[in-house]
Amino acid sequence: MFERTNPGVAPRVWEVGALCRAIADALEARFNPVAVRGEITGFSRASSGHCYFSIKDANGQLRCAMFRRAASLLDFSPRDGELVEVRGRLGVYEARGDLQFIVESMQRAGQGALFEQFLRLKAQLDAEGLFDTARKRPLPLLPRAIGLVTSPGAAALHDVVTALRRRVPHIPVVLVPALVQGAAAPASLVAALSKMYLLTQAGQAQGADLAQSPPVDVILLVRGGGSIEDLWAFNDEQLARTIVQSPVPLISGVGHETDFTIADFCADLRAPTPTAAAELVAQAREVWLGALGLLTGRLADGVERQLDARHQRLDQAAARLGRPSGLVAREQLQLARLAQRMRHGALLKLQRLSQSQQAMEANFPQKMQRCVAQHTERLDRAALRLDLLDPRLVLQRGYALLTDTGGRAVTSIQQAHPGDALRATLADGVVDVTVAAQPRLL
């Protein structure tokens, strides 16, 4: 049973709930109301509007709850790492037996050590241009593969894989594991990202374990929510410089919506949660199917309009062409009209020829006499010209026509040599002559 230090006094046996209430009453009488100064950690706001967090310093940590009414009076948004002064009541949360501080008011008291360190590094990297929006790249519309850097045991991995499997089950996911919390996490994250960058080289990465991997077109760097200490690995300077060296767009999905890290500012895009990061990079399959259906409908409408236009043109051509028998009948009618015109023209021509012949017969004697006279006159003129060209008239004036023995005319002294026999034709006869001496030029 129980050992008693004072055998004469029996200890009281408490019920758990009664003891918790007694402790709460003791705290209420001893401390409340009380003010506490400390650094916020693990801050979260429930859908009910209640806020839950802890305040801490180098020597201790105290769990706090701030209900909706008090939270609605805040003039700032509490964040992990902020140094605050809170006023309220100490108590015991009987359902768990936890010491709990019910916060009734809160005000800033300065910045916590980690938060100040975060701000200094943020200012330094911002001045170096690591946060410039000009270097941010748009996400690929249809990535060939999605790279994922996170802890294999993290809930964030399950959330991301579930979202990707639901939205884009056809896109492969390549996981490179890394630590996401603790002193060794920054170096592990840097190594994992460096290894992931190899996969962006269209599958030509070094190492047998990477050789068969598909080319990664976008990288997700994710981790679930936590306190500023839990997320501190993502505020590492070397990790920030490694992130900006990514050859493909990189999305940071670290913590909850209210959590910000240096990695968020360096990434091409910041997602409020790991699940949101997956949804940003993976357009739902239903959206693409809907777009494909829309394009299919537009294509079908276009084809239908083209067919309707062609049918209309065919109908118009058929209307102009008509039935072949009708066309033949029209052509036969046209042929008959042309034949009629030809017969009429032939009769008219015969009539004109007949009339011309009668006229010719009536004037024939006079025309014949005039024609004979004209031809006789032309014949006389031709005979006169012919007489004038008669060479005998020239010979009668004392000239002679010399020819050689072959009958060829001799017109130059070059054709006559001493001793040559020539024939001279005169007006009334022919004389055979012989060249007695060498002919001379005139």
- Residue 221 shares a structural domain with residue 161: yes
Q: Assess if residue 349 is contained within a domain.
A: no
The 10s digit of each residue's pLDDT in 299-357 is: 888 888 888 788 778 777 766 665 555 666 777 788 888 888 888 887 888 788 777 76
- Residue 244 shares a structural domain with residue 127: yes
| Amino acid (one-letter) located at 22 | A
| Amino acid (one-letter) located at 218 | V
229 within 8 A of 183, measured Cβ to Cβ: no
Q: Looking at residue 132, what is its pLDDT?
A: 92
Q: Assess if residue 386 is contained within a domain.
A: no
Domain edge (last residue) among 323, 346, 379: 323
Higher pLDDT, 257 or 124: 124
- Residue 265 shares a structural domain with residue 161: yes
- Residue 277 shares a structural domain with residue 154: yes
Across all residues in the chain, what is the average pLDDT? 82
Lowest mean pLDDT, pick from 34-48, 235-249, 362-376, 413-427: 362-376
On the CB side of 66, CA atoms within 13 Å amount to 24
- Residue 172 shares a structural domain with residue 213: yes
Percent of the chain surpassing pLDDT 70: 88
The 10s digit of each residue's pLDDT in 23-41 is: 777 777 677 788 898 999 9
Report the domain count for the chain. Answer: 4
User: SS3 of 103, please?
Assistant: strand
- Residue 125 shares a structural domain with residue 241: yes
Higher pLDDT, 183 or 362: 183
User: What's the CATH number where 218 sits?
Assistant: 3.40.50
User: What's the CATH number where 94 sits?
Assistant: 2.40.50.140
Q: Looking at residue 349, what is its pLDDT?
A: 80
Cis peptide before 33 (omega within 30 of 0): yes
What range defines the domain where residue 161 resides? Answer: 121-132+143-283
- Residue 292 shares a structural domain with residue 273: no
Q: Looking at residue 206, what is its pLDDT?
A: 44
Q: Assess if residue 421 is contained within a domain.
A: yes
User: Per-residue confidence at 430, pLDDT binned at 50, 70, 90?
Assistant: confident
Q: Assess if residue 362 is contained within a domain.
A: no
The 10s digit of each residue's pLDDT in 203-216 is: 544 444 544 667 89
